[in-house]
Copies of this chain bind each other. A is one copy, B any other.
Amino acid sequence: MSTRRSKPRGSAAPPRLTRKGAETRERIVIAAAELMFEEGVSSTTLEDVREAAAVSSSQIYHYFADKDALIRAVIAYQTQRVVGGQEPLLAKLDTIDGLRAWRDFLVAHERLLGCRGGCPIGSLGGELAEANPVARADVAAALLRWESGIRLGLFAMAGSGRLREGADPSRLATTTLAALQGALLLTKIQRDTTPLEITLDTIIEHIASLTNGGPRTQTE
């Protein structure tokens, strides 16, 4: 109907951001993500975010329709940071040594954080699943992507013949992710990395027992 020239945009016209605008928006998301990770979503007020990001309240509402929209942006950000950031590492899960390196990285990381916050993705999912259906779906997608990463590594292990015939890399990937999520939850609640160490070690032992190298006894 309108004689509009230049790039026509879709129905949900995303107001184009200048570089400065994009930076401000990102500053808000990062501040919100950190606060929500450290204190939980519901304890994080927009006033907290406003202060941490050093913006005015109208800026938050200029870039996000409401708190839910900001939450979704935080989920996207954490998905990219955590899952995306791990994908190179996950590709190396095609050997037992690769799995061990991954384990060591995760344990060291939790130690560094003082066992606080748990998994950024899992914690968001746990807190939002029953309260925010859209957020739940976002987190579900993030977890599927994570699982895919693990699966690819394990399939590579199977393809190179290190994994025995009967073993199903897909099921192992699901179990590995579940065990990791649970272990991070226990670690966060108990403020102790022991559950994480034991759980990952046990899962790796299980996978090792399915390799052609054969089963090994549990390490002390």
Contact = CB atoms under 8 A, between A and B. Distances in A.
Interface of A: 38-40, 42-43, 116-118, 122-123, 125-127, 129-131, 136, 139-140, 143-144, 166-168, 171-172, 174-175, 177-186, 188-191, 194-195, 198-199, 201-203, 206, 209, 215, 217-218
A191 B185 CA distance: 19
Contacts of A189: 125-126, 129, 136, 139-140, 143
Given A39-B130, A174-B202, 10 more contacts: A40-B131, A126-B126, A127-B127, A136-B189, A140-B191, A166-B218, A171-B202, A174-B186, A174-B194, A206-B206
B179 A186 contact: no
Contacts of A168: 218
Nearest to A186: B178
B182 A178 contact: yes
Contacts of A186: 143, 174, 177-178, 181
Nearest to A175: B202
A171 to B, nearest CB: 5
A39 B130 CA distance: 5
Contact of A188 (B129, B182, B218): B129
A194 B140 CA distance: 13
B179 A179 contact: yes
